[in-house]
Amino acid sequence: MSLADLYARPGHLIRRAHQISWALFLDECAAFGITPVQYSALVAIGERPGVDATRLSAMIAFDRSTIGNVIERLETRGLVARRPSAEDKRQKLLYLTATGEQLVGDVEDPVTRVQDRLLAPLSEKERKTFVALLQKLTTENNEVTSAPLRIDDRP
């Protein structure tokens, strides 16, 4: 195998695209001090107040064993509050604080710029095709990962 072969492999290109996406996110969102995973968690909690950590990890396709660290960082910053469930006091449910809601609103434009910058080399038609193909790729391979995406309508 040559470097040219490596550079043409989908797995290598996806890894590079992830690096680029991460760098753009950190560049646009540096003032907010959040990571892409933290942002995803905040959006999911905002949409489903009262979600538990296990369901949150499934909603954002993030490993259950490390979602606790993400939640802890968000809680320490006062962006998320944990409250006991009315049905099971051992279970903690997640809610955005007013500060968390404000941050999600404040970071919306920078996150949109990340997406625009990431897709800037593509025409509008190519962007739609690219995103559709990524959705197909991730949907069809969802079960391969240790953190498959799980979406449901429960809180």
Q: Sketch out the chain's domains with CATH numbers.
A: 3-144 (1.10.10.10)
**pLDDT at residue 86, as a whole number:** 85
Residue type, 98: A
Residues of the chain with pLDDT under 50: 155
pTM: 0.90
Residue 153 confidence (pLDDT): 53
